[in-house]
Amino acid sequence: MAGAGPSLATGLILAAVAASSFGIVITLTRVAYNGGASAGAAMEIRYLVAVAVMSTTLLALGRGLRPPRALYGGLLRVALGNLGVTFGYMTSILFIPVSVATVVFYTYPLMVIAAASMLHGQRLGWGRFGAFGLAFAGLALALGPSLEVLDWRGVALALLAAVSAATVFMISPKVLRAYHALGVTLYSNLFGACIIPLFLPILGGFVLPETSSGWLGMGGLSVLYAGAMLSMFVALHAAGAVPTSLIFNLEPLVAIAAAAILLGERLMPVQMAGVALVIGALMLASLARPRD
């Protein structure tokens, strides 16, 4: 059984660390691709690094690696959600720019809020209905100028990642009340490391980077991903799904800024206005009080 666990303040700080790290990871993934790495290699290596980090930490702390049998089902659901995020988000940027994929993907906090309201028997209220309207308007502005040249596969994959992320946020707290974050992170990534090889033929095989910048991207995304995963699960345990999703509003800002700095991507003014609307909608939806 898990102990008392970290405080709410610690959870919120770790949520900010995780959000910032995840925001940089997707841009470093594109850097790795530009350096010759395949999507399959990038996914597999980041999973293996996370498994190595988590298992080593667990052994150093004297904790067993085997989870309680009663949690197998919950751990599998979390792992499937995490796999959907990894597969969807990391392949979406093969077809669309990082900045555009980011705007689509980060609709998932709205999905978390909508699902939480329905599961708790609450009405969304006018504030949250308004937030959803703002979010859709923001998406229309952000995607509109590029709609004719956007590859629908990239948008669909980013949406798959968003739905998967919302699922992870909703189901993880229950598992984390019974099992520690290190174990959840370990088995989520171990599952992915076992599954990704089956999809290598459609993920470009296992091709490593050919340039130094590609290797820096690969190493950076792997290390930051492992730290971000652990931080996210601790934050979910300490703060819960909705407060953590509020802090994760930092993630798209960091991702878009990193894409501009490292990849030279630039959004048009109307697209920046759309991003601002989406972020504002996420903040409004997270802060607005639902009606019973």
Sequence-separated contacts (24+) of 70-74 with Cβ below 8 Å? 70/178, 71/175, 71/178, 71/179, 74/171, 74/174, 74/175, 74/178
> What's the start-to-end Cα distance of the chain, in Å?
33
Q: Where are the domains of the chain?
A: 8-287
Q: What does the alpha-carbon distance between residue 292 and residue 160 come to, in Å, rounded to a whole number?
A: 30
- DSSP 8-state secondary structure symbol assigned to residue 289: P
d(CA 9, CA 224): 22
What is the band of 142 on the pLDDT scale with cuts at 50, 70, 90?
low
The answer to whether the CB of 36 falls within 8 A of the CB of 209 is: yes
pTM score: 0.79
Model pLDDT for residues 18-61, shown as the tens digit of each residue = 989 988 999 999 999 999 999 999 999 999 999 998 898 888 87
Say what the alpha-carbon torsion angle 34, 37, 39, 45 is, to the nearest 10 degrees: -130
- CA R_g for the chain: 18
pLDDT digits (tens, 9 = 90+) for 227-279: 888 888 788 778 876 677 677 777 888 888 888 889 988 777 877 787 777 77
